[in-house]
Amino acid sequence: MEGDISQKLLKEKKGAEVTVADEVTLKDRVWSETKKMWVVAGPAIFTRFSTFGINVISQAFVGHIGPTELAAYSLVYTVLLRFSNGILLGMASALETLCGQAYGAKQYHMLGVYLQRSWIVLFLSSIFILPIYIFTTPILNILGQDESIAEVGGYIAHWLIGVMLSFIVSFTCQVFLQSQSKNMIIAYLAAFSIAIHLLLSWLLTVKYKFGIPGALSSTLLAFWIPNIGQLMFVMCGGCRETWKGFSSLAFKDLWPVVKLSMSSGVMLCLELWYNTVLILLTGNMQNAEVSLDALAICININGWEMMISLGFLAAASVRVSNELGRGSSKAAKFSIVMTVLTSFVIGFVLFLFFLFFRGRLAYIFTESEEVAKAVANLSPLLAVSILLNSVQPVLSGVAVGAGWQSIVAYVNIACYYLVGIPVGVVLGYVVNMGVKGVWIGMLFGTFVQTLVLVIITYKTDWDEQVLIARSRVTKWVVKDAEEPNLTTSNA
């Protein structure tokens, strides 16, 4: 029976690919794919810059309140918010696989069901994260933080519970809309949100002196404005084909979503925590203050550039999942080549830029000659990091689009934690290369991971991936069709 289904799906796939005219020129294919890619990548990059900007604005205005408040916000944001952000964002990427492939297979009604299932899974996950926010002060005290910073940090963490919960709606709705290439609305809402945040932060903290409550009220609003706008767009006619209303089908077959979400969460968190280890290892070195300041500047620059790479990650995920769901292995492979090459070209230009300017960029962030010299010394590594970041996230996006999250999680463990960190420790502490040695080791781990992902992608039988994607969609549609009476409303 399964063999008959596979043969049928293979015939459907071949039939779909035959309809593509062979005489279409390479120039036309490149132009067509470029437009499809930038429809997703452009708004995704802008949205990520805006979200990153919200945190920068919040941190800047909290800094005007006082040094203790700034230290507490920086600590809570770096450790707590990024931790929960990584988990929920990672788990939401499971929706990229499901929605992207279902949309490509023209099973439009399933996207709304997948969206609701993801809401349930992420909400349950947030309940397990919640105690960390509630008990932030005692946790920071146990970790040896200054008592006043821990106290203010706990107060800030209570405010940020609302921000953490906003991620549930934000990440899932963005994926839902991106899979349909309808993410311009996300960019518009992000632009509106950051403008409101800048104005409100100034009013509430500088003009009216409301302190922490004023700054965090503005932050909370900045994260929820896009969510409200996205929900209104989805439920009020913006997605008529893919949103059919709330359904109790969302509570069925949750386990496959849970498994894929957990694999996705592990995959992304391993990457985020890998960068955190770099900071922790540097903090234990001699002259740690200068090293940390220089590293913080480099990581800040790298973080801004990473928003571009994450935009291409989204594009790769959407294009690959759409084409696999549609049944075209050739189009999926072509989209991979185009997305990787485009991101690499941008990364290579930035690579040359940071090699040329080196430490001169440091004066944007500091007036210290010593720190600027340390940044200049690290700039070649920053440039290499940016170059690797132009390829590695895109390949991770390919993995998400194809549903390989669990495979990539194992690759990340091996390359990051069994190769990168040990090599970094040896070079930094044994060979006495300091922060430079630690970073070289970490970059080596990233390089090995990128190489492994290139090999996996190159050696993959994409015709087989089409069958897997189509069978995944078909299996779930058949299961849900067995109980059609479960749809409860049409919002």
378 occurs within a structural domain = yes
Q: What pLDDT, on the 0 to 100 scale, is given for residue 10?
A: 52
Burial of 414 (0-12, 13-18, 19+ CB in 10 A): middle
Residue 173's domain comprises: 10-479
Helix (H) or strand (E) holding 113: helix 109-134
What are the two backbone dihedrals, phi and then psi, of residue 295, each rounded to the nearest 5 degrees?
-65, -40
5 occurs within a structural domain = no
Burial of 179 (0-12, 13-18, 19+ CB in 10 A): buried
Q: What pLDDT, on the 0 to 100 scale, is given for residue 453?
A: 93
What are the two backbone dihedrals, phi and then psi, of residue 157, each rounded to the nearest 5 degrees?
-60, -35
Asked if 109 and 247 count as a contact pair (C-beta separation under 8 A), the reply is no
Nearest Cα to 85, choosing from 39, 137, 122?
122
36 occurs within a structural domain = yes
487 occurs within a structural domain = no
SS3 247: strand
CA separation for the pair 209, 196 (Å, rounded): 18
261 occurs within a structural domain = yes
- For the whole model, what pTM was predicted? 0.83
Nearest Cα to 442, choosing from 269, 291, 282?
282
CA separation for the pair 398, 37 (Å, rounded): 13
489 occurs within a structural domain = no
Q: What pLDDT, on the 0 to 100 scale, is given for residue 19?
A: 45
126 occurs within a structural domain = yes
Name the domain count of the chain: 1
71 occurs within a structural domain = yes
Q: Which residues have CB under 8 Å from 347's CB, separation 6+?
A: 309, 386, 387, 389, 390, 391
CA separation for the pair 237, 240 (Å, rounded): 5
CA separation for the pair 92, 86 (Å, rounded): 10
What is the DSSP code string of 421-455?
HHHHHIIIIIS--HHHHHHHHHHHHHHHHHHHHHH
CA separation for the pair 481, 464 (Å, rounded): 25
Cα 306 vs. chain centroid, distance in angstroms? 10
Q: What pLDDT, on the 0 to 100 scale, is given for residue 288?
A: 52
List average pLDDT for each run of 10 residues in the chain, which is 491 residues long.
50 48 73 92 90 85 84 78 78 86 89 93 91 90 81 92 93 92 91 95 92 94 95 93 89 81 74 66 57 71 83 92 90 94 94 83 71 82 90 90 86 88 88 84 91 93 89 64 44 36
